[in-house]
């Protein structure tokens, strides 16, 4: 469904070519300083414009509709929208009957009985992550002492990101990438096992972002080939600081106070200019599709700030839950 969070509850709505997209944040503590300009730096980082991103240009300016008065949150739900303006809906007409392999066209046709708004990929568009990034700005204010930072570390399997992007553009194809997220100075002992462990809360938001196919914490998949004596992180002081960080800052689903580190896999954009085999549901025959229109060559280029928002949202919710359950900790 379209909401995440137990206390800090984020609801996303809208379609890519509808009048607007937006987010409602319920459970935001009152008295948090908040103005429209606060959203601009992170929203700008999500925008297209650089080489390898879509030519669609949206102002993405936020409009605060509720929950803020005299520059502070009131405790009522905060509703934010941005208007969609740069739309070429005809680019998507074909996909209703001829689904793009790898995209949501086929599954949404079945699930929504053909009623889904297909314009600009509708509610399946990466554009819906605007609201996630906006909620992330507020979450970062709640987790104020924490420094969340994500970056693209490889694209198309290469460290030379610029070269990989240029090669993909030249071949009319698309590529994926790996984003690494680091959370410095994390709050100690947040995470609610079993089902709301730190990893499960973060992964829940992360896998809600379109085009993400994998996540690993700390040494991740490499742990399978390590010995216990290598993988364990030796303690070096009474605060729980460890000499190594194979756990990625989490034990037992609870943050251990060391830096939180995770990496995610972004798949190559499914809308590719290379011929793909698909089925024409109207003509009832196999066909070949070469996707035209405006698409990101590499979605991962726009993903770091979205990943930061996902981490911050999960963390803000877990911090507020922890405060509610444990109050002020005595040890």
Ligand X SMILES: Cc1cc2nc3c(=O)[nH]c(=O)nc-3n(C[C@H](O)[C@H](O)[C@H](O)COP(=O)(O)O)c2cc1C
Residues near ligand X (CB under 6 A) are 54, 103-104, 121, 124-126, 129, 209-211, 267, 269-271, 295-296, 299, 302
Nearer to ligand X, 61 or 222 (CB): 61
Give the shortest CB-289-to-ligand X separation in angstroms. Answer: 12
Give the shortest CB-132-to-ligand X separation in angstroms. Answer: 9
Nearer to ligand X, 177 or 249 (CB): 177
Give the shortest CB-303-to-ligand X separation in angstroms. Answer: 6
Give the shortest CB-136-to-ligand X separation in angstroms. Answer: 13
Which residue sits closest to ligand X, CB atoms considered?
Answer: 126
CA angle at residue 150 from 188 to 147, to 5 degrees? Answer: 40
Nearer to ligand X, 11 or 121 (CB): 121
Cis peptide leading into 160, omega within 30 of 0? Answer: no
Nearer to ligand X, 175 or 299 (CB): 299
CA angle at residue 186 from 180 to 190, to 5 degrees? Answer: 110
Helix/strand/coil for 307: helix
Q: Is residue 43 a contact partner of residue 149, using CB atoms and an 8 Å limit?
A: no
Residue 272, both tokens: 């590719």
CA angle at residue 319 from 188 to 40, to 5 degrees? Answer: 110
Give the shortest CB-25-to-ligand X separation in angstroms. Answer: 19
> Of 152, 148, 266, nearest to 215 (Cα)?
266
Give the shortest CB-221-to-ligand X separation in angstroms. Answer: 20
Nearer to ligand X, 34 or 299 (CB): 299
Nearer to ligand X, 146 or 161 (CB): 161
Nearer to ligand X, 9 or 267 (CB): 267
Distances (CA, A) of 326 to 144, 189, 210: 19, 11, 34
> Of 170, 166, 142, nearest to 155 (Cα)?
166
Nearer to ligand X, 210 or 249 (CB): 210
Give the shortest CB-202-to-ligand X separation in angstroms. Answer: 16
Residue 121, both tokens: 């990929």
CA angle at residue 310 from 307 to 313, to 5 degrees? Answer: 150
Q: Is 153 exposed, middle or buried (0-12, 13-18, 19+ CB in 10 A)?
A: middle
Give the shortest CB-301-to-ligand X separation in angstroms. Answer: 9
Residues contacting residue 22 through CB under 8 Å, at least 6 positions apart: 12, 13, 14, 79, 80, 81, 82, 130, 131
């Amino acid at each position: 469904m379209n909401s995440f969070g137990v206390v800090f509850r984020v609801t996303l709505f809208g379609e890519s070519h509808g009048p607007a997209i937006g987010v409602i944040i319920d459970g935001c503590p009152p008295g948090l300083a908040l103005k429209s300009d606060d959203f601009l730096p992170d929203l700008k980082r999500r925008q297209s414009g650089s080489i390898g991103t879509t030519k669609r240009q949206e102002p993405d300016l936020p409009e605060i509709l509720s929950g803020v008065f005299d520059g502070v949150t009131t405790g009522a739900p905060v509703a934010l929208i941005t208007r969609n303006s740069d739309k070429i809906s005809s680019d998507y007409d074909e996909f209703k009957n001829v689904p793009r392999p790898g995209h949501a066209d086929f599954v949404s046709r079945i699930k929504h009985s053909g009623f889904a708004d297909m314009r600009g990929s509708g509610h399946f568009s990466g554009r819906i992550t605007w609201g996630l990034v906006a909620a992330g700005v507020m979450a970062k204010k709640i987790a104020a002492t924490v420094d969340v930072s994500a970056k693209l570390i490889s694209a198309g399997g290469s460290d030379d990101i610029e070269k990989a992007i240029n090669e993909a553009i030249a071949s009319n194809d698309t590529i994926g990438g790996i984003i690494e997220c680091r959370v410095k100075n994390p709050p100690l002992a947040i995470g609610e096992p079993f089902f709301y462990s730190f990893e499960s809360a973060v992964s829940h938001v992360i896998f809600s972002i379109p085009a993400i196919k994998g996540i690993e914490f700390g040494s991740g998949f490499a742990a399978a080939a390590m010995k216990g004596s290598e993988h364990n992180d030796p303690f070096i002081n009474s605060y729980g600081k460890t000499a190594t960080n194979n756990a990625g800052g989490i034990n037992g689903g609870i943050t251990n106070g060391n830096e939180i580190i995770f990496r995610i896999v972004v798949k190559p954009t499914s809308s590719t200019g290379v011929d793909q085999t698909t089925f024409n549901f109207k003509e009832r025959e196999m066909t070949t599709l070469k996707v035209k229109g405006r698409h990101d060559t590499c979605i991962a280029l726009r993903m770091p700030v979205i990943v930061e928002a996902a981490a911050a949202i999960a963390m803000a919710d877990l911090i507020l839950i922890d405060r509610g359950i444990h109050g002020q900790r005595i040890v």
